[in-house]
Amino acid sequence: MDFEKNLLEGKVILITGAAGGIGEMVSKTFAQQGATVILLGRKISKLEKLYDQIEQAGYPQPAIYPLNLESAAPHDYEELSNRLGEEFGRLDGLVHCAATVGGLTPIEHYDIMRWYQVLQVNFNAPFMLTKACLPLLKQSETASVVFTTDSVGKQAKAYWGAYGVSKAALENLNKMLAEEFESQHIRFNCLDPEATKTFFRARIYPGENPQTLPSPETIAPAYLYLMSEQSKEISGQRFTAKELLEKL
Ligand SMILES: NC(=O)c1ccc[n+]([C@@H]2O[C@H](COP(=O)([O-])OP(=O)(O)OC[C@H]3O[C@@H](n4cnc5c(N)ncnc54)[C@H](OP(=O)(O)O)[C@@H]3O)[C@@H](O)[C@H]2O)c1
C-alpha cells in the first residue's frame, strides 16, 4: 500500500480493543503514522506489552487506559473523557475495535444474561464512549470515528444472536451520528474487516485454516484511510476493508 508518511502526525486517537488482533495492528499502524494512540483494553499486561513495542519502535509515546467495557458505567466514561481532556485537550479519532461474540446459539436457547453482556460490550459501551468523547472530538479540527462492524450487522444470520443485533445497532447509530454532525467536522463510518486471522475468528471457526485468511496487517490500511485526511469528505458510510483497499 502506497501511503505517504506521517499521515496522522500530531493526532490523538483512542482505540478500544487495542490489544486484540485487529486493534493491536491498528494501534501500531496509527502510531507509525505519527499519532499519539490511547490504548484502551481490559488487560493491563497486554496493554503494557503493546505500549513497550510502540515506544521501542520510536513512535510517539502512547497512553494506556484500562477499562472493562462490560462493567463500565456512565461515570467511568465521563472520567475517561475528563482525563483525556486534561491530558490532550482534544481527540482527533476514536476507533471501536473491542467486541465479544458470546457464542453462536439459537434465540430459543439464548441465555438472557449473555445477551445483556454482549450488547453491553458491543453496543452500549461504544454508544456511551462516543457520547462522552463528543466534546473532545469537537475540539479537533477534523475528527473521525470508526465503528468496527460485521457482515451479520448488515444481513441477519441465524445463531449470531446478540452479536449480530449489536452490529446492526452500531450501523444504525453510525448513520444517526453522521446526520446529526453533518454540518460539523466530525465524521462517522463503519468498517467491516471481514474474515481476518485473529483469535476472535478462530474461536468461531475452529476448523478453519487460518493461513487462508488475511492478517490484521493487511486490513489496517483501511482503518488508516478512514482516520486520515484522505477520507475527510466521507461520513455515514459502511465499507468492507476489501472495498477500501481496492480503492487505495
Ligand atoms: N476477526 C474477524 O474475522 C472479524 C470479522 C468481522 C468483524 N470483526 C470485528 O473486528 C473487531 C476486532 O476483532 P478481532 O478479530 O481483533 O478480535 P479479538 O482479537 O478478539 O479482539 C477483540 C478485543 O475486544 C476486547 N474486549 C472484549 N471484551 C471486552 C471488554 N469487556 N472490555 C474491554 N475490551 C474487551 C478484547 O480484549 P481481551 O484481549 O482482553 O480479550 C480484545 O482486545 C471486533 O469488533 C469484531 O466484531 C472481526
Q: What confidence tens digit (pLDDT) does each residue in 182-225 have? A: 999 999 999 999 999 999 999 999 999 999 999 999 999 999 99
**Beta-strand (E) ranges in 19-86?**
36-41, 63-66
The confidence score (pLDDT) of residue 52 equals: 98
For the domain spanning 12-247, the CATH number is: 3.40.50.720
Asked whether 149 and 191 are in contact (CB, 8 A), the reply is yes
State if pTM tops 0.85. yes
Residue nearest to atom 7 of ligand 1 (CA): 150
Q: What confidence tens digit (pLDDT) does each residue in 154-174 have? A: 999 999 999 999 999 999 999
Q: What confidence tens digit (pLDDT) does each residue in 76-107 have? A: 999 999 999 999 999 999 999 999 999 899 99
Asked whether 198 and 20 are in contact (CB, 8 A), the reply is yes
Ligand 1 centroid to residue 41 C-alpha, Å: 10
Asked whether 230 and 7 are in contact (CB, 8 A), the reply is yes
Which residue among 149, 197, 198 has the greatest number of ligand 1 atoms within 8 angstroms of its CB, and so is best to mutate? 198
CA distance 84 to 76: 12
Ligand 1 centroid to residue 183 C-alpha, Å: 32
Q: At 140, is the secondary structure helix, strand, or coil? A: coil
Give 43-48's long-range contacts (Cβ < 8 A, gap of 24+).
43/19, 46/19, 47/18, 47/19
Q: How many CA atoms are closer than 13 Å to the CA of 112, on its beta-carbon side? A: 0
CA distance 235 to 177: 9
CA distance 100 to 116: 12
